[in-house]
Amino acid sequence: MKNVLLAANWKSNKTKFEAKDWLKEVSAQSFGEGLEVVILAPFTLLDTISGYIRVNDFPFKLGAQDVSPFDDGAYTGEVSARQIKEFADYVLIGHSERRTNFGESDEMVRKKVERAIAQELKPIVCISDLSQVANLKFDQELTIAYEPLEAIGTGKPQDPDSVEFMANQIRAKMSSARIIYGGSVNADNLRDYINLDGIEGALVGGGSLNSSSFIDILKNAI
């Protein structure tokens, strides 16, 4: 059985209390081997979640949803990779919501990946088309989340054949990439994607917010 990565992208949601409720409910379940689950949380929750994971020996990993393209220093409002590394092992970079709403360019995404790698964070880099991988030449293995724009948050996931086609195109350019799919993934359609040859997991937004719907997704992942 292949290893599957499930990343829960909470986006700009949840207070500390809401996060703790979710953690309590999800951690009451047991999960099978070969499943790696990463909570991609807002910066404000990293301390709380990493503490919960440590104290409860909860087998989930933690990631941030963005990282500064700079090291520590005079960059008001930014959070550096070194600061994130204190709490988390992963970082999501270049989500289409950042590219669209905050003008993140491919060059900016590349700089963020560099900073993350320098601090030994594992980047999950989002792309929605093939041109966006051109800038991503790194020695380290990257996780690429293929997320077609029209599938994000719409309830209309891309058809699995097209996802497989795209995964092959990505792998032709980045032979060592771990490729996951994101866009309206839920408990019912998850296996359509993680069963594909070229796909090794899923990035789940809306379906990860509610603990019971995320538990259903986890149950179908194994």
Binding site for ligand PGA (CB under 6 A): 9, 147, 152-153, 182-185, 203-207
Among candidate residues 36, 95, 107, 200, the one labeled active-site is 95
Helix and strand totals (H; E) in the chain = 8, 8
Catalytic residue at 147?
yes
CA distance 136 to 170: 11
Least CB distance to ligand PGA at residue 145 (A): 7
Residue 57 Cβ vs ligand PGA, minimum distance, rounded to whole Å: 28
Query: Closest distance between ligand PGA and the C-beta of residue 24, in Å?
Result: 23
132 vs 175 by CB, closer to ligand PGA? 132
For residue 82, report the phi and psi dihedrals to the nearest 5 degrees: -65, -35
Distance CA 112, CA 80 (A): 9
**Helices within the chain (DSSP H only):** 16-27, 46-56, 81-85, 96-101, 106-118, 160-173, 190-194, 211-221
95 is catalytic: yes
Q: Which residue, judged by CB position, is nearest to ligand PGA in the bound state?
A: 205
Query: Which lies closer to ligand PGA via its Cβ, residue 68 or residue 158?
Result: 158
Closest distance of CB 214 from ligand PGA, Å: 11
State the Cα–Cα distance between residues 222 and 220, nearest whole angstrom: 6
Beta strand 122-127 with 143-146: parallel, antiparallel or unpaired?
parallel
| Lookup: tokens for 87 | 């709490």
Q: Which is nearer to ligand PGA, 80 or 220 (CB)?
A: 220
For residue 206, what are its two tokens?
């809306």
- Residue 64 or 204: the one with the smaller Cβ distance to ligand PGA is 204
> Which one is catalytic: 78, 147, 150, 164?
147
Give catalytic residue positions: 95, 147
